[in-house]
Amino acid sequence: MCPNQFQVINLDSLKNIQSIPSDGDPDFQFVFESEATALAIFKIEDRGEFLLCYDEFAFCVDGLGKRVRPDFMIRWEGRPVRVVFKPPYVIGFDQEFVEIRHVETGELVQVIQAEHVRCLNPSHESASVSMDGMGIYGVAMASNGIYQSVFRLMPLF
Domain hosting residue 14, numbered range: 6-153
The enclosing domain of 119 has a CATH number of 2.130.10.10
Task: Note the pTM of the prediction, 2 decimals.
Answer: 0.82
Number of domains in the chain: 1
Instruction: For residue 1, tell me if it sits in a domain.
Output: no
Q: Is the pLDDT of residue 132 over 60?
A: no
Instruction: For residue 142, tell me if it sits in a domain.
Output: yes
Q: pLDDT tens digits, residue range 25-70?
A: 888 889 988 999 999 999 998 888 999 999 999 999 998 889 998 8
**What is the pLDDT, as a whole number, of residue 131?**
44
Instruction: For residue 91, tell me if it sits in a domain.
Output: yes
Instruction: For residue 74, tell me if it sits in a domain.
Output: yes
Highest mean pLDDT among 112-116, 132-136, 140-144: 112-116
Q: pLDDT tens digits, residue range 75-117?
A: 999 999 999 998 899 999 999 999 999 999 999 999 989 888 8
pLDDT band of residue 155 (cuts 50, 70, 90) is low
The helix (H) or strand (E) run that includes residue 29 is: helix 29-33
**What is the pLDDT, as a whole number, of residue 57?**
96
